Amino acid sequence: MQPTVLFDLDGLLIDSEPVWDAAKREVFGPLGLHLTSEMQAATRGLRQRDMVAYWFDRTTLRADPDDVEQQIVAAVCRGLEGVALKPAPNTPLRRARVHRGRWPSCRPRRSR
């Protein structure tokens, strides 16, 4: 079996917060929830499911929260395409094989 290393992307490899923020605006906007920077900051750091629940609890959104969560994750995956990796110091991360400067895949999956 080939060795595998898993890293949290937030801040270490890429600046993913702008991608997450854009994805949430993309998904929530058509539902009538127009997130400001301040509103985004209120849920920053929450797990995805908790962030979605936060907005459903405080608004009158008419959608399936699980679908909204999956749409946000899919939008993030699209948004990460072509995002440059941050330069890494001389660490195992720097020596890791990354396909064409991107991670090989980004697949939304349901968390239960």
pLDDT tens digit string along 15-60?
A: 888 999 999 999 999 999 999 999 999 999 899 999 999 999 999 9
Q: Which CATH class is domain 17-82?
A: mainly alpha
φ, ψ of residue 2 in degrees (nearest 5):
-80, 135
Model-level pTM? 0.72
Determine contact, residues 43/112, Cβ cutoff 8 Å. Answer: no
**Sorting pLDDT into bands at 50, 70 and 90, what band is 77?**
confident
Torsion of CA 48, 83, 7, 111, to 10 degrees: 30
Q: How many CA atoms lie within 13 A of 6 on its CB side?
A: 0
